[in-house]
Amino acid sequence: MSSLRDLIQAMARGDAPPPPVAEFVGLRLVSAEPGEAVMEMTVERHHHNPMGMLQGGIVATLADGAMGYAYAAGLGDGESFTTIGLHVDYVKGVREGTIRASARVVRRGRTIGLVECDVTDAEGALLARASSTCMTLRPEG
């Protein structure tokens, strides 16, 4: 692959394997374009907290992944990034089914960017809203 953007496109097509954490949790990249990405997962019993609901950290992981792909898909050659802030507000729980994280870059500056994400259930009900602050990393020299 010639760039991170190419790798992301290959993952979205299924031509490249997802990162290990995505396989571990069960995250699927649906689409990723510069500034936008969608990920899904099927909620299963092993994702539950003691109350029998989807554990909040899993929701945060899904949202973080979608926001990361939305940001990374717009990076230039040789650039990468890191998340420097993550915030999630939870508004509804879920026990089972497919959930979707839809992320969009709100602002991309030279070094810092802001990304937002809505996590919804199969009926489109909002489960959580997340935001991420990302820092673009460039090769030294």
Q: What is the pLDDT of residue 1?
A: 39
Residues 60-76: pLDDT tens digits? 999 999 999 999 999 98
Task: Provide the whole-model pTM.
Answer: 0.94
Domain that holds residue 23: 4-137
Average of per-residue pLDDT across 104-116: 97
Q: What is the CATH number of the domain that holds 115?
A: 3.10.129.10
How many C-beta atoms surround the C-beta of residue 86 within 10 A?
A: 15
Spatial distance between the Cα atoms of 115 and 131, rounded to a whole number of angstroms: 6
Q: What is the pLDDT of residue 2?
A: 55
Q: What angle do CA 123, 71, 93 make, to 5 degrees?
A: 30
* φ/ψ of residue 79, rounded to 5: -90, 150
Q: What is the pLDDT of residue 141?
A: 62
Do residues 87 and 121 make contact, with C-beta atoms less than 8 angstroms apart?
no
Three-state DSSP class for residue 3: coil
Spatial distance between the Cα atoms of 40 and 66, rounded to a whole number of angstroms: 9
Count structural domains, the chain.
Answer: 1
> Tokens 């992944």 map to which residue?
65
Sheet strand arrangement including 27-33: 27-33, 36-43, 97-108, 112-120, 126-137, 80-90
Residues 11-53: pLDDT tens digits? 988 899 999 999 999 999 999 999 999 999 999 999 999 999 9
